[in-house]
Structure 1
């Protein structure tokens, strides 16, 4: 599949293969940012650090992350089995003289949903490693609080003993969100500053905003 994609990418400008490659790029651009995020969580990941606006309740942040993981596992499992069922059907197009784009696309989506499913399950495992943490008031836990210095700012880090997740409130993120707030959400300027400060992909963030 990768060799076929590279062949399409190197095709002469204006050729059929080049147009097919352009169509593939448009299809890839429609992949949800949440799927890209879940695919990035490999089995080698051993812990997770969540940076969030300081005005939010850390328990709410962790519950939201668990919701993303549970919803991702349920949806991508269904999409995975659906894509697998389409593989035999699309493989019949190999008799045509053109590249079997439907088969390669379904194969890619099958692999992508499988990776997202694995990432969802791994994320759920990481944020659910302490079953009693939901009943604890994290900011008041003396044994789980520590302070770290980051530049000129001070961040308070909440981590339950023995857990694999770290909740890190950020006053800087809170200020960027507050200053960039508009009637229709965050301004593009604020999004650019946030992405630059926290090393995020601006295109994915804007795509995620449009899905809200």
Structure 2
């Protein structure tokens, strides 16, 4: 699966890292809901490690939660489902934006388009992404063994590892993206063993939106709204990087 990552300075030296929602929605709409029998078959397959089984379970639960969340969001105002959704929004507001971003880079992502302001150095953009992946991986390795809530940690850790592979310069790492890919990868995705899985997309439109507007208080809310509309980003998640 291909995904678009959008990167831009949002407040001083703080950068925003977000995954476009268009790749998420297209992925969900093109696949049927996962079933327990499919989960059972995957975790009982020969040659599958304990870590891979944990990641499979985490992906299964996350997919179920995402599909259920959409239903809660559309529930009538004042209903029990609507109240559950409001409570969930409050709880999610406490989650760090980098955590949300890393969890969004699922193991079925085999290619990324990295969109960033045209004035930024592309090497710096990839360096910042690698730094985030390495730091996220180290943090979750440290916290994993002492935590009871394994699923959230596994999901974020898996995203860190996946992102590190995606922005790597090593062709051997690229081939592992194919070997560890999902069964429903497209034929285009399976050609990645000899090609870079990342594509840099400098954007003049994004550059114009943020030019001269990144002051001490960061980008204004209306500017962030325009960026989110243009690149299909979740505004509440983006605002966390600034606030």
TM-score (normalised: structure 1): 0.61
Given the alignment, which residue of 114, 120, 125 partners 2:154? Answer: 114
| Equivalent residues in 2 for 1:40-59, closer than 5 Å | 40-59=104-123
Q: Is the 8 A contact 1:43 1:122 kept in 2?
A: yes
Return the alpha-carbon distance in structure 1 between the equivalents of residues 211 and 116 of structure 2: 13
Q: 2:65 aligned with 1:32, yes or no?
A: no
2:231 corresponds to: 198
Q: 2:145 aligned with 1:81, yes or no?
A: yes
Query: Structure 1 residue 162: deviation in Å?
Result: 2.0
Given the alignment, which residue of 159, 165, 170 partners 1:130? Answer: 170
Return the alpha-carbon distance in structure 2 between the equivalents of residues 72 and 167 of structure 1: 22
Query: Structure 1 residue 118: deviation in Å?
Result: 0.5
2:201 corresponds to: 168
Query: Structure 1 residue 183: deviation in Å?
Result: 3.6
1:147 corresponds to: none
Post-superposition Cα deviations, 1:28-81, rounded to whole Å, max 9, x if no partner, equal 320111111111111111111110111111111111110011011111222322
2:214 corresponds to: 181
Q: Give the greater-gyration-radius structure (CA).
A: 1
Post-superposition Cα deviations, 1:86-109, rounded to whole Å, max 9, x if no partner, equal xxxxxxxxxxxxxxxxxxxxx3xx
Query: Structure 1 residue 179: deviation in Å?
Result: 5.2
| SS, match of residue 107 in structure 2 | coil
Return the alpha-carbon distance in structure 2 between the equivalents of residues 57 and 162 of structure 1: 22
Runs of 4+ deviating beyond 4 Å: 18-25
Return the alpha-carbon distance in structure 1 between the equivalents of residues 130 and 154 of structure 2: 19
| Equivalent residues in 2 for 1:98-109, closer than 5 Å | 107=149
Q: Is the 8 A contact 1:77 1:114 kept in 2?
A: no
Q: 2:128 aligned with 1:64, yes or no?
A: yes
Aligned residues: 148
Report 1 or 2 for greater relative contact order, CA contacts < 8 Å, sequence distance ≥ 6.
2
2:57 corresponds to: none
